[in-house]
Chain A
Amino acid sequence: MAKQRGAIVVDIERCKGCELCIEACPTSVLRMERKVNGKGYHFAYMEDPGECTGCINCAIVCPDGVISVYRVKVEA
Chain B
Amino acid sequence: MNPDFKSLTIKTGFNIRIFNDFKEINARHKKCLNLNNLSLINTSSPTPQSKRNE
Query: Does A pair with B?
Result: no
B residues contacting A by CB (< 8 A) are: none
